[in-house]
Amino acid sequence: MTAYTCPSLARTSALALCVASVALSKLPVSMRLLKRDPSLPSEAPGSAGAGAGAGARGRPENYISRDALGADRGGRREGPTCPEPGPGPARMASPAVFPLSCVVQQYAWGKTGSSSEVARLLASSDPSVQISEDQPYAELWMGAHPRGDAKILGSQKTLGQWIAENQDCLGSKVKAAFHGKLPFLFKVLSVETALSIQAHPDKELAEKLHLQAPQHYPDANHKPEMAIALTSFQGLCGFRPLEEIVAFLQKVPEFRFLIGDAAAAQLQQSVGSDSQAVASALRRCFSQLMTSEKKAVVEQLDRLVMRISQQVCAGNHMEDVLGELLLQLHQEYPGDIGCFAIYFLNVLTLKPGEAMFLEANVPHAYLKGDCVECMACSDNTVRAGLTPKFIDVPTLCEMLSYSPSPSQDRLFHPARSQEDPCLSIYNPPVPDFTVMKMEVPGSAAEYKVTALDSASILLVVQGTVTASTPTAPAAIPLRRGGVLFIGASESVLLRLTVPEDLLLFRACCLL
């Protein structure tokens, strides 16, 4: 059996240069179930987690020579080289690696019972948990958000409380940049019915909205987020190319009726124009749709649904007007204006391992499937359809980025590590978070999760291991669904106890 390892990154500067050489580890954790409060909405905003830390004296204990990695695989993207590590910060006395008991959110849009990946992870990590087949299991929260603060397994202390007492666990740069708080929230989502048509504000708008309406916008932070598919995962993301929208205006008269002939003509005339003219025409059309009278929306939607249903019954395929998706959304949200959004927004279907990154002001909606999600520490979401919750159409229409692009441009591609053949890194253009995916073959005897100058949270999606670390008093058994908190400057050695492939995801902050 082969041991997969990756050179350690000791200094902060080395870490920044060596993102592609960082290996992820998998860490199991049992999870506690948060019962749904009927007063809570059916969909949750994102927020932040927390971390723990420790450093190493001189050459780090987890340093492995480049030769120990074995032969490199061909065909991967070139990544940065790793400078020789040097002295690190002094190690904290308290253990900074421990399993977590995480919170499951039971929002109404979640998959029910054992059809939910969230429920399956929960049951695998904690066999004492009984899954209710008629209950939704929508989200697993791994972090320190007040609405779902993880508990340290075997303790009454929450992760947020522990981080507040041990802020050095975050890493020096993260601690300074994010005021002693972990800047990300890590999740698993299992989506059965569509989430709302929404966007997240940038920091400037978030501050303004928080001052004006704190009951709807509870903090002043932005909320970029990234979804990585675990199964086939469908969502809406960003505006389509103008040519596609114009084609739908011609093929779907009910859609054109709500937009109006004048706005539709302006959009058609803007094809090939400069970005300012395109944005102006697109803003006008989208605003016309989203501010349509409810009665007109219901009438036109009923007419479209009847027409598509009749054609389908006659044996005709209606994919040229997205007939199947339109009927699905109408069944989930009858008479909702958001059903027409499919003619404005790209429809993306991600394969496992593929990702979409959603920066500020990009319209989107998750439709169906299971994914890992990571986001900045924020609760701010502006909604305008496919939801029974508070909607803010004027703000959404004003804030959106009206920049059309093809659906393939919305895919976010990871970088393959040159140093570690098991490691892929999803490093979005925001400082708040990075996600690492590790795929370790079952033939490996062990896998080294290298130290970072950041606290991190590791999720075991597949496999069974024991986790050892210099600061832990004993090895930690981890299996599918386990979650491990890893403080800054801590390395973890995973020993495979069952000869099956490992799939791990690790969220961190690489400044």
Q: Which residues are catalytic?
A: 383
How many helices (H) does the chain have, and how many strands (E)?
Answer: 12, 26
In sequence order, the β-bridge partners of residue 370 are 190
Buried b (16+ CB within 10 A) or exposed e, 66-94: eeebeeeeeeeeebeebeebeebbebbee
Whole-number Å distance between alpha carbons of 17 and 361: 30
Whole-number Å distance between alpha carbons of 163 and 100: 13
Q: Kindly give, in sequence order, each residue whose CB lies less than 8 Å from that of residue 116, ignoring residues fewer than 6 positions away.
A: 110, 136, 137, 138, 190, 192, 370
Pair 19, 425: CB distance under 8 Å: yes
Phi/psi at 50 (nearest 5 deg)? -155, 170
**Cα angle 355-357-362, degrees, rounded to a multiple of 5:** 140
Whole-number Å distance between alpha carbons of 34 and 104: 6
Q: Kindly give, in sequence order, each residue whose CB lies less than 8 Å from that of residue 348, ignoring residues fewer than 6 positions away.
A: 234, 235, 236, 237, 356, 407, 410, 411
Q: Kindly give, in sequence order, each residue whose CB lies less than 8 Å from that of residue 489, ignoring residues fewer than 6 positions away.
A: 10, 53, 54, 55, 56, 60, 88, 89, 91, 171, 451, 452, 453
Pair 304, 254: CB distance under 8 Å: yes
Q: Parallel, antiparallel, or unpaired for β 492-496 and 233-239?
A: unpaired
Whole-number Å distance between alpha carbons of 435 and 372: 9
The neighbour count for residue 379, using CB atoms within 10 Å, is 22
In sequence order, the β-bridge partners of residue 112 are 136
Distance of CA 401 to the CA centre of its chain: 20
Pair 90, 57: CB distance under 8 Å: yes
Could you tell me how many residues make up the chain?
A: 511
Pair 188, 121: CB distance under 8 Å: yes
Distance of CA 10 to the CA centre of its chain: 28
Whole-number Å distance between alpha carbons of 26 and 52: 16
Whole-number Å distance between alpha carbons of 485 and 94: 13
Whole-number Å distance between alpha carbons of 156 and 228: 32
Pair 488, 257: CB distance under 8 Å: no
SS3 label, residue 264: helix
